[in-house]
Amino acid sequence: MKRLVWIRTAPPDAPGSMAAYAELVRRAVAPFADGWEFTVCDLFDPRGGGSMWRHHLWRLRHARRILASHPADLYHWLDGSMAAFMPPALRSRSVATVHDLIPLLQWRGELPGKPSWPAGWLIRRGVEALRGCAALCADSAATRDDLTRLAGIAERVAVVPVPLRPLPPPRPVPVAGLPSNARFILHVGHNAAYKNRAGVVDAFARLGDVPDLHLVLVGPPPTSELRARSAALANVHFVGPVDDAALHDLYRRAALFLFPSLYEGYGMPVLEAMAAGCPVVCSTAPALVEVAGEAVLCAPAEDADALAGQCRRLLADVRLRREQIARGLARAAAFDVATMGWSLLEWYNNVLERMKNHG
């Protein structure tokens, strides 16, 4: 019996993609688990709540002890950004999923948002740990390429795309000031600069001649700068975080989904929108182009005129809209859980065989 421990660094009830990814991995691998024993090791402060740094300090103090109580042939760190907490003695028996390299890009000055000195220390420590791992996997070939360019890791990296997480049946959600039959552009994202919420507002501003068009932004409350940027525009609606049923309803009702990120490691919202029958306009960020293929219309993230132009095409051309919806549905259907499960099991087996052959 081969023993593998999944290392989970986000509580299962926490909002965000990491908790969802841990559940997807468990569900994907379960049908093919003959000959394997899988367990989960939670590596976060059991008291819950508190700041991110409180959990980081807890991991630095307790990771070695907690992992020692979970003996295994292989350890899979489900969030490669937490590799800084990997005990050096376990690196040669560890694998990690790298979802993106946003902190490293910020530290290098290639994305907005300079990390603090302590964060920079963790980033460098994490990259060192990833270099020492038995193997890595990336959500996309774009992230694999980033590992080569930014971290010098050119080998031992598999690409395992993430399947769509199932959204529950749509549940109508009221949006203050938005008529029930209004035509609207939808964006989902937080306030980090790389999400380019400002670019969403700027592109919408160039569509002022389109009658009765609204913009709905789902996510945390906007920054004061973003609110000021949109103050002069009519029909802009900032919606707080919504649950999956409400999000599904918004995808289904939207005229199009606008996602002009400066960078993404994958782009799950694009897949979700396509699966819900919502046509997509996104940036030319490599991971988004890779995931979406020809099922979306693209423009550079910094070019608000070009983004608005692609939106205008979808809004004006009924035939194009139907074609893109059909392409999106077909593309999204290709990202299934079974493929992920087989890919992960093959990766685990290959890593263990390589470890055995190299002593």
The pLDDT tens digits of the residues spanning 237-266 come to: 999 999 999 999 999 999 999 999 999 999
- pLDDT score at 16: 67
Measured CA to CA in angstroms, residue 21 lies from 3, 127, 317 at distances of 20, 21, 37
Confirm whether 26 is domain-assigned. Answer: yes
| pLDDT value of position 180 | 86
* Residue spans of beta strands (DSSP E) within the chain: 2-8, 36-42, 74-77, 94-98, 135-138, 157-159, 183-188, 213-218, 236-239, 256-259, 280-283, 297-299
CB 99, CB 265: distance < 8 Å: yes
Please report whether residue 178 resides in a domain.
Answer: no
Per cent of the chain over pLDDT 90 is 84
- Does residue 22 fall inside a structural domain? yes
Do 225 and 158 belong to one domain? no
What's the whole-number mean pLDDT along residues 297-309?
98
pLDDT at position 100: 95
- Same domain for 326 and 244, yes or no, is yes
Catalogue the E-assigned strands of 107-235: 135-138, 157-159, 183-188, 213-218
Based on the fold, state whether residues 93 and 238 are members of the same structural domain.
no
Q: Residue 359 pLDDT more than 90?
A: no
Quote the CA–CA distance of 316 and 48 in Å, as a whole number.
49
Identify which of 344, 306, 329, 300 has the alpha carbon closest to the alpha carbon of residue 6. Answer: 344
Q: What is the pLDDT of residues 51-68, one digit of tens each?
A: 888 989 999 999 999 999
Please indicate, yes or no, if residue 85 is contained in any of the structural domains. Answer: yes
Residue 174 lies in a domain: no
Q: Does 239 reside within a domain? A: yes
Q: How many domains does the chain have?
A: 2
Predicted pLDDT of residue 266: 95
Q: Are residues 194 and 145 in the same domain?
A: no
* Within a domain: 169: no
Same domain flag for 282 and 342? no
107 and 140: one domain? yes
Task: Give me the amino acid identity at 173.
Answer: V
Residues 130 and 262 in one domain: no
Among the listed ranges 10-24, 118-132, 331-345, which one has the minimum average pLDDT value?
10-24
Average pLDDT over residues 219-231: 94
Residues 261 and 327 both lie in one domain: yes
Give the residue-averaged pLDDT of 156-182: 91
Same domain, 326 and 345: no
Flag whether 171 is in a domain.
no
Do residues 247 and 322 both lie within one domain?
yes
CATH number at residue 44: 3.40.50.2000
Residue 220 sits in the same domain as residue 156: no
Residues 44, 134, single domain; the answer is yes
Whether the Cβ atoms of residue 287 and residue 266 lie closer than 8 Å to each other: yes
Residue 159's domain comprises 2-163+336-357
